[in-house]
Amino acid sequence: MASDSKEVVKEFPFFKVYKDGRLEFLMPPVEKIPPSDDPDTGVRSKDVVISLDPPVSARIFLPRIPDPARKLPLLFYTHGGGFCTQSAFSRKYHDLVSTVAAEAGAIAVSVEYGLFPSRPIPACYDDSWAALRWVAGHAGGDGAEPWLNEHADFGRVFMGGESAGGNIPHTLAARVGSIGLPQGVKVVGIVLVHPFFGGTVDDQMWMHMCPTNGGLSDPRLKPAREDLARLGCEKVLVFVAEKDHLREAGIGYYEELKKSGWRGSAELVENVWEEHCFHLRDPKHEKAVELRDKIVSFIKHN
């Protein structure tokens, strides 16, 4: 038994699996910060509970309101972290979403979805869908959250995320296209930054985290043409980074989307010389600002 506890049977980018079933995560624990009001940008934030069982919550960001009569576009955001780490409440994601909310003049909802191993995949998809449905439930102005009732324009909803969080909006948009959302809610576009999709060394890690996976052809891993064709949005913006091992997966997604028969418009942007999610490591870097400006423009001008 002692040898079983030391023998590694699988090793993935985010964790190791030992013969006795124990997991060793390779990333330090994520430090979470509370919501706050930013005196510089005027963005306020608060946390809301969407569901107790399963546990789903979110952080909502409200920018300055220059005209109370004018509704704001809504950004629904899913953080990255390999489906097993990070948080909507971490410093890096709080700062990113807060900045985009301020610059785009958008109300943002950043989802705290379930992570492996306590909540294996598909919790990330199901929790995010539940959160999106909860948000959409405010379209009539009588939801549980006043900020959404009073300030969100549900005819201008956007979804976005990066890495693992750039994979989730695709599945959500496919569900919107097949199942739909309440009347008055329109998903205009999705933003996929350095998204994770199948065809890389990470495939086996995703399947390990998803015990009910459908193999390498699972449509959440390798989007099916019929799902691409019925995406419930009008525009898709995909970013890839030149030095990212997920680059080809992102390009492949864009190319398959263009061939699928989907009637929307898609744009592919390559971050030359950059690595995976570089914009999170140095948010003030010139190219990180360019990436963020592109997202802001996508929200403001659609």
Residue 42 Ramachandran class (φ > 0 left, ψ -120 to 50 alpha, else beta): left
Active site (annotated) includes residue 276: yes
39 token code pair: 């005196």
Residues 6+ apart with CB under 8 A from 20: 1, 4, 5
Active site (annotated) includes residue 163: yes
CA 188 to chain centre: 16
Instruction: Find the catalytic residue in 127, 218, 227, 244.
Output: 244
The total of other beta-carbon atoms located within 10 Å of residue 291's CB is 23
Cβ–Cβ < 8 Å for 205, 14: yes
Cα–Cα distance, 50 to 136 (Å, whole number): 12
Which of 230, 138, 121 has its CA nearest to residue 175? 230
The dihedral built from the CA positions of residue 224, 229, 233 and 234, taken in this order, carries a sign that is positive
Cβ–Cβ < 8 Å for 152, 107: yes
Active site (annotated) includes residue 285: no
Cα–Cα distance, 164 to 124 (Å, whole number): 9
Which of 142, 166, 161, 33 has its CA nearest to residue 100? 161
Instruction: Find the catalytic residue in 57, 163, 208, 218.
Output: 163
Instruction: Find the catalytic residue in 94, 208, 276, 279.
Output: 276
Catalytic site residues? 163, 244, 276
